[in-house]
Amino acid sequence: MKTERRPPVTLRELDGVLLLDKPAGRSSTQAMSAAKRIFRAQKAGHTGTLDPFATGLLPVCFGEATKFSRFMLDAEKSYRATLKLGEVSTTGDTEGVIQRSGPVEVDGARAAAVLEQLVGEQTQIPPMYSALKLAGVPLYELARKGIQVERAARRIHIYAIKLVSLSDCELVIDVDVSKGTYIRVLAEDIGKQLGCGAHLTALRRTATGGFRVADAVSLDTLEAANGESLETFLRPPSSLCAALPAIMLDVADGGIFSHGGWVGLASSPNTLGEHAVFNQNQRFLGVGIVEQVQNKRRLSPSRVMKL
């Protein structure tokens, strides 16, 4: 008996940014792949890994928007984290082996004082249970085999920590951090400072690069949406570059820029470096770099949108 073959899925050339509210239990790549399937997009990528147990804002880029995803990777990020005091974990979260570590004798004033001390620029050693790679092998694979390797400390910045609630052995905080910050390690540091140990029991990304989780959509909502209305959930690729200063080019210079050529700037922008570039019709052309060449400034393309 022959089995019927399903007709091939026609993939679409789709450009835009989806603010996805990632569910718990899926990796960032799995959540991105699910969104890609729903939209039938040819090309997709995400802008910053969330652990499988974590939830919240995961910007997903389709098509040409993937060229500008690094602006989200480098952006400041905000989280709501729930810590269990008095217990530590081999992974820093609920996925590891949990052990009791000490009595919890913490009140709100002491917790707030410890949090305040952690604000600022500092170094942090990435955990073994992370997606960082050594010779192409993720560290978490080595950790699962009981192998520990030396990791270089990273410079990070804790911009703000706010005590949301403290009840029994549960501490909830809101935290704003630089790229590369591991909230699991921060939770362990808080536990050490409090003298009782701690690990993460929940983590939700609430904001990144000017985007907020309140504007994100779930996979369930996307699955239930009519196919023709899916694109209403997308933001333009230029939204990834909203923090950059903007430059507008006329038709002729816009064409040169889009074909990879540099253009001279008649009116000099106030800043050098990267700029979001638009034409006179407000069409986003890409990102360019303003450079000082002798006594003039010129704009060279860095990443350009497909014509």
On whether the CB atoms of residues 102 and 196 are closer than 8 A, the answer is yes
The active-site residue out of 21, 51, 93, 253 is 51
On whether the CB atoms of residues 106 and 167 are closer than 8 A, the answer is no
- Least Cα distance to 215 among 229, 230, 235 occurs for 235
- Cα–Cα distance for residue pair 233/82, rounded to 1 Å: 30
On whether the CB atoms of residues 274 and 244 are closer than 8 A, the answer is yes
- Least Cα distance to 222 among 234, 213, 212 occurs for 234
DSSP conformation letters of 142-173: HHHTT-------EEEEEEEEEEEEEETTEEEE
Taking every pair of C-alpha atoms in the chain, what is the biggest distance, in angstroms? 78
- Cα–Cα distance for residue pair 49/6, rounded to 1 Å: 33
Active site residue 74: no
Catalytic residues: 51
